[in-house]
Amino acid sequence: MANTQPTLCIDIGGTGLKLMVVSHQGKALTERYRVETPQPATPSAVLKALKGLLAQVKTPYARVSVGFPGVVVDSTVQTAPNLHASFTAFPLGKAIAKLTGRPTRVLNDAGVQGHGVIQGRGTELCITLGTGFGFALYVNGVYVPNLEMAHHPFRDGYTYEEYVGNAAFEAVGKKKWNKRVRRVVRQLEPIFNYRVLYVGGGNAKKLEVDLPTNVKRVENLAGLLGGVRLWEHEAG
């Protein structure tokens, strides 16, 4: 029987921590609560900040989904390139389950975002443009975990993340950054031959270039709404 109880969806980012309670139908039941990511972003500092956000949530929820910017295996962090190095090997799922008193699942943040928008047919990609560069691959609705394209060499000695991450946006300006994003989209097409590529993340709203018809911009809110599908499609 499908679980029809609400899910607390948490998005941990390099610049912001966000959470919201979402119904089993993907409808927001609360406002989106947000706070700046603490610096340095150690596990203890992030958990303390999340505890402060949780104190504002009065709507009941039965489970928790977390999107994290790095490689995650069995809800344990393996890499955290835009947070503190002490996140490596940190059992984030267990820590948030203890904090909330609810069963918790953690997945790469782009993976969660993609769950909120994919159609479940053929090869689909989700990239996120924010502090870094997120990437997720799905084949017939099944997530292929932990493909970190962000740190793969791309162009002129830059990785994908160095080429279109927020630091690059600040360094080269909106016009040149837009051209870079278009190059990234073009490069991914002959590699993955995707049916659809979704572009999300906080900086997606800064895109002003024409994109192919099978490339779709999605609301950053999908990163939270996808947390419900995380419980439907991913093993615990």
Q: Which burial class, exposed, middle or buried, applies to 197 when counting CB atoms under 10 A from its CB (0-12, 13-18, 19+)?
A: buried
Pick the CATH number of 7-109 from 3.30.420.40, 3.40.47.10, 3.40.50.10490, 1.10.1040.10: 3.30.420.40
The three-point CA angle 202-204-206 to 5° equals: 100
Assigned fold of 118-217: Nucleotidyltransferase; domain 5 (3.30.420)
For residue 9, what are the β-bridge partners? 20, 65
For residue 108, what are the β-bridge partners? 68
pLDDT at 236: 47
pLDDT at 234: 59
| pLDDT block averages, 10 residues each, the chain of length 236 | 80 93 91 96 98 96 95 96 96 98 96 93 96 95 92 93 97 97 96 97 92 91 82 65
Alpha carbon distances (Å) from 131 to 12, 103, 161: 11, 28, 9
Q: Which burial class, exposed, middle or buried, applies to 60 when counting CB atoms under 10 A from its CB (0-12, 13-18, 19+)?
A: exposed
pTM attached to this predicted model: 0.90
pLDDT at 1: 38
Q: Token pair of 189, please?
A: 């097409």
- Considering the chain, tell me which residue range(s) the CATH 3.30.420.40 domain(s) occupy: 7-109, 118-217
